[in-house]
Amino acid sequence: MRLMMLGPPGAGKGTIAKKLIDKYAVPQLSTGDLLRAAVKEGTTLGLEAKKFMDAGELVPDKVVIGLIKERLAQRDCQKGFILDGFPRTLPQAEALAKITTLQAVINLDVSDEEVIVRLSGRRTCAKCGAIYHVRNIPPRTPGKCDKDGADLFQRDDDKEEAIRNRLNVYRRQTMPLIDHYRAAGILHDVDGAAGVDSVTAASVKIIETIK
């Protein structure tokens, strides 16, 4: 399976990708997670990327293309993968097409109002990356991960000003990918505003047509 999750920030790309990797046993390739790991490690790339990420801007194409190229070359990607947050510009899509061919793109459609509610309430596990929402998907114990008990944190780019900029950046730089992949005949629209179980079921239905 060679799948990509597309959608605005907070659409649920990571949440649904995590449900799908459990079912299909393929890796989730999230450029956001790869970049956050580089920031945490304090690498040169991470320090450079942090400035863009905190402001809600995209990290330069050359950097993320290099990261994903390296990740896709790893052995666990041979049986398939779910891309989450890449590509998000036309040059990134063109670079990806030179490495591999996507079978399907799932486009999660969610309103700006819902994005703001979701991102301002998102909490992430510092240890395993599990994603919660203080109201929609709360952990059993506030502030602690259900899976490993580690602390939950709020992302630096989930502040209102950065969220608004991320939405503008999405409209300007990422939305053109909707037409790009629709023209290629591989785009599938899914109502991302529905509950997690419904969105997962709709995504599974699409995957069953490409497997």
Binding track, positions 76-105, relative to ligand AP5; x by CB under 6 A: ---------xx-x---x-------------
Q: Is 71 a catalytic residue?
A: no
- Comparing CB distances to ligand AP5, the nearer of 13 and 211 is 13
116 is an interface residue for ligand AP5 by CB under 6 A? no
Catalytic residue among 50, 71, 88, 123: 88
**Joined tokens for residue 147:** 């899976």
Angle 115-61-95 from CA coordinates, rounded to 5°: 105
* Contact of 83 with 4, CB cutoff 8 Å: yes
Catalytic residue among 50, 71, 122, 123: 122
* Contact of 29 with 76, CB cutoff 8 Å: no
The C-alpha atoms of residue 56 and residue 195 are separated, in whole angstroms, by: 26
User: Taking the mean position of all CA atoms in its chain, how far away is CA 121?
Assistant: 17
The C-alpha atoms of residue 2 and residue 201 are separated, in whole angstroms, by: 18
105: three-class secondary structure by DSSP = strand
Catalytic residue among 13, 36, 50, 123: 13
196 is an interface residue for ligand AP5 by CB under 6 A? yes
The C-alpha atoms of residue 203 and residue 88 are separated, in whole angstroms, by: 20
15 is an interface residue for ligand AP5 by CB under 6 A? yes
* Binds ligand AP5 by CB under 6 A, chosen from 29, 105, 132, 152: 132
Query: Which parts of this chain interact with ligand AP5 (CB under 6 A)?
Result: 7, 9-15, 31-32, 35, 52-53, 56-59, 64, 85-86, 88, 92, 118-119, 121-122, 131-133, 136-137, 157, 166, 195-196, 199
- Annotated catalytic residues are 13, 88, 122, 155, 166
